Chain A
Protein backbone atom coordinates (compact mmCIF):
# COMPACT_ATOMS: atom_id res chain seq x y z
CA UNK A 1 0.00 0.00 0.00
CA UNK A 2 2.68 2.49 0.98
CA UNK A 3 4.76 1.46 -2.01
CA UNK A 4 2.03 2.38 -4.49
CA UNK A 5 1.30 5.66 -2.68
CA UNK A 6 4.96 6.66 -2.81
CA UNK A 7 5.19 5.78 -6.49
CA UNK A 8 2.18 7.97 -7.26
CA UNK A 9 3.68 10.80 -5.19
CA UNK A 10 6.98 10.55 -7.09
CA UNK A 11 5.05 10.79 -10.35
CA UNK A 12 3.21 13.83 -9.05
CA UNK A 13 6.55 15.37 -8.07
CA UNK A 14 7.89 15.11 -11.63
CA UNK A 15 4.56 16.30 -13.06
CA UNK A 16 4.37 19.44 -10.91
CA UNK A 17 7.97 20.37 -11.65
CA UNK A 18 7.34 20.01 -15.38
CA UNK A 19 4.19 22.13 -15.07
CA UNK A 20 6.13 24.81 -13.20
CA UNK A 21 8.68 24.87 -16.01
CA UNK A 22 6.27 24.90 -18.91
CA UNK A 23 3.39 27.12 -17.83
CA UNK A 24 3.34 30.70 -19.16
CA UNK A 25 1.53 32.25 -16.22
CA UNK A 26 4.13 32.86 -13.51
CA UNK A 27 1.48 32.80 -10.79
CA UNK A 28 0.49 29.34 -11.95
CA UNK A 29 4.14 28.32 -11.83
CA UNK A 30 4.34 29.46 -8.22
CA UNK A 31 1.19 27.51 -7.37
CA UNK A 32 2.69 24.44 -9.02
CA UNK A 33 5.89 24.86 -7.03
CA UNK A 34 3.81 25.05 -3.86
CA UNK A 35 2.16 21.75 -4.77
CA UNK A 36 5.65 20.36 -5.45
CA UNK A 37 6.77 21.34 -1.94
CA UNK A 38 3.66 19.80 -0.43
CA UNK A 39 4.21 16.50 -2.24
CA UNK A 40 7.88 16.49 -1.26
CA UNK A 41 6.92 17.08 2.38
CA UNK A 42 4.43 14.20 2.21
CA UNK A 43 7.18 11.94 0.87
CA UNK A 44 9.52 12.99 3.68
CA UNK A 45 6.82 12.30 6.25
CA UNK A 46 6.28 8.85 4.72
CA UNK A 47 9.99 8.17 5.04
CA UNK A 48 9.81 8.99 8.75
CA UNK A 49 11.62 12.35 8.67
CA UNK A 50 8.80 14.32 10.26
CA UNK A 51 11.00 17.22 11.34
CA UNK A 52 12.25 17.75 7.80
CA UNK A 53 8.70 17.47 6.49
CA UNK A 54 7.49 20.14 8.90
CA UNK A 55 10.28 22.48 7.85
CA UNK A 56 9.62 21.81 4.18
CA UNK A 57 5.92 22.48 4.52
CA UNK A 58 6.39 25.68 6.53
CA UNK A 59 9.22 27.15 4.48
CA UNK A 60 8.88 25.54 1.06
CA UNK A 61 5.13 25.60 0.70
CA UNK A 62 4.35 28.62 2.86
CA UNK A 63 6.91 31.36 2.92
CA UNK A 64 8.71 30.67 -0.37
CA UNK A 65 5.43 30.89 -2.25
CA UNK A 66 4.64 34.22 -0.66
CA UNK A 67 8.13 35.53 -1.44
CA UNK A 68 7.84 34.44 -5.08
CA UNK A 69 4.39 36.01 -5.38
CA UNK A 70 5.81 39.23 -3.94
CA UNK A 71 8.61 39.05 -6.49
CA UNK A 72 6.37 38.55 -9.51
CA UNK A 73 3.97 41.21 -8.30
CA UNK A 74 6.74 43.76 -8.87
CA UNK A 75 7.56 42.51 -12.40
CA UNK A 76 5.39 41.31 -15.26
CA UNK A 77 3.19 38.31 -14.69
CA UNK A 78 3.68 36.58 -18.04
CA UNK A 79 6.86 34.80 -18.93
CA UNK A 80 8.26 35.64 -22.35
CA UNK A 81 9.70 32.29 -23.36
Chain B
Protein backbone atom coordinates (compact mmCIF):
# COMPACT_ATOMS: atom_id res chain seq x y z
CA UNK B 1 0.00 0.00 0.00
CA UNK B 2 2.78 2.37 0.93
CA UNK B 3 4.72 1.51 -2.23
CA UNK B 4 1.58 2.28 -4.23
CA UNK B 5 1.26 5.67 -2.54
CA UNK B 6 4.90 6.53 -3.24
CA UNK B 7 4.48 5.42 -6.86
CA UNK B 8 1.36 7.57 -7.21
CA UNK B 9 3.16 10.59 -5.75
CA UNK B 10 6.12 10.14 -8.10
CA UNK B 11 3.79 9.73 -11.08
CA UNK B 12 1.93 12.94 -10.17
CA UNK B 13 5.19 14.83 -9.73
CA UNK B 14 6.41 13.58 -13.10
CA UNK B 15 3.14 14.67 -14.69
CA UNK B 16 3.49 18.17 -13.23
CA UNK B 17 7.12 18.48 -14.30
CA UNK B 18 6.27 17.31 -17.82
CA UNK B 19 3.38 19.79 -17.97
CA UNK B 20 5.55 22.65 -16.74
CA UNK B 21 8.07 22.03 -19.50
CA UNK B 22 6.14 24.14 -21.99
CA UNK B 23 5.33 27.05 -19.69
CA UNK B 24 6.48 30.45 -20.99
CA UNK B 25 9.65 31.96 -19.62
CA UNK B 26 9.53 34.23 -16.62
CA UNK B 27 8.91 37.80 -17.78
CA UNK B 28 8.19 36.80 -21.36
CA UNK B 29 6.34 39.76 -22.95
CA UNK B 30 4.42 37.41 -25.26
CA UNK B 31 3.19 35.11 -22.51
CA UNK B 32 -0.62 34.86 -22.27
CA UNK B 33 -0.57 36.57 -18.88
CA UNK B 34 1.24 39.59 -20.31
CA UNK B 35 -0.69 40.32 -23.51
CA UNK B 36 -4.19 40.88 -22.10
CA UNK B 37 -5.30 43.73 -19.93
CA UNK B 38 -2.12 43.73 -17.84
CA UNK B 39 -0.03 46.20 -19.88
CA UNK B 40 -2.96 48.61 -19.88
CA UNK B 41 -2.85 48.76 -16.09
CA UNK B 42 0.90 49.22 -16.06
CA UNK B 43 0.69 52.08 -18.55
CA UNK B 44 -2.36 53.88 -17.20
CA UNK B 45 -1.85 53.65 -13.45
CA UNK B 46 0.41 56.70 -13.36
CA UNK B 47 -2.09 59.05 -14.97
CA UNK B 48 -5.27 57.46 -13.63
CA UNK B 49 -4.38 57.14 -9.97
CA UNK B 50 -0.88 58.49 -9.50
CA UNK B 51 0.38 55.63 -7.38
CA UNK B 52 3.75 54.06 -8.08
CA UNK B 53 2.84 50.57 -6.90
CA UNK B 54 0.73 49.01 -9.64
CA UNK B 55 -0.28 46.08 -7.43
CA UNK B 56 -1.75 48.42 -4.83
CA UNK B 57 -3.45 50.44 -7.54
CA UNK B 58 -5.11 47.37 -9.04
CA UNK B 59 -6.10 45.95 -5.65
CA UNK B 60 -7.36 49.16 -4.10
CA UNK B 61 -8.77 51.08 -7.02
CA UNK B 62 -9.36 49.15 -10.25
CA UNK B 63 -10.53 46.04 -8.45
CA UNK B 64 -11.72 47.48 -5.16
CA UNK B 65 -14.92 45.43 -5.24
CA UNK B 66 -12.79 42.29 -5.09
CA UNK B 67 -10.85 43.63 -2.15
CA UNK B 68 -14.10 44.54 -0.40
CA UNK B 69 -15.31 40.97 -0.89
CA UNK B 70 -12.04 39.53 0.41
CA UNK B 71 -12.17 41.69 3.50
CA UNK B 72 -15.75 40.64 4.14
CA UNK B 73 -14.71 36.99 3.78
CA UNK B 74 -11.99 37.47 6.41
CA UNK B 75 -14.43 39.35 8.66
CA UNK B 76 -17.08 36.64 8.32
CA UNK B 77 -14.53 33.91 9.02
CA UNK B 78 -13.41 35.75 12.14
CA UNK B 79 -16.97 36.12 13.36
CA UNK B 80 -17.64 32.41 12.77
CA UNK B 81 -14.47 31.41 14.66
CA UNK B 82 -15.46 33.79 17.43
CA UNK B 83 -18.89 32.21 17.88
CA UNK B 84 -17.49 28.66 17.94
CA UNK B 85 -14.82 29.52 20.51
CA UNK B 86 -17.13 31.57 22.74
CA UNK B 87 -19.57 28.66 22.95
CA UNK B 88 -16.79 26.25 23.91
CA UNK B 89 -15.61 28.51 26.71
CA UNK B 90 -19.09 28.74 28.17
CA UNK B 91 -19.52 24.96 28.10
CA UNK B 92 -16.23 24.52 29.95
CA UNK B 93 -17.39 26.79 32.72
CA UNK B 94 -20.69 25.00 33.17
CA UNK B 95 -19.34 21.47 33.42
- A–B direct touch, CB within 8 Å, in complex? yes
Q: Hey, which bits of chain A sit against chain B, CB under 8 A?
A: 47-48, 51
Closest A residue to B53 using CB positions = A51
Chain B contact surface mostly: loop
Interface residues in B, total, Cβ within 8 A: 3
Please report whether the interface of chain A is mostly helix, strand, loop or mixed according to DSSP: helix
A51 to B26, CA, bound (A): 17
Q: Which residues of B contact A (CB under 8 A)?
A: 26-27, 55
Q: Are B26's CB and A47's CB within 8 A? A: yes
A47 proximity list for chain B (CB < 8 A): 26
Nearest-CB distance from A80 to chain B (Å)? 17
Q: Closest residue of chain A to B27, judged by CB? A: A48
Min CB distance A45 to B, Å, is 13
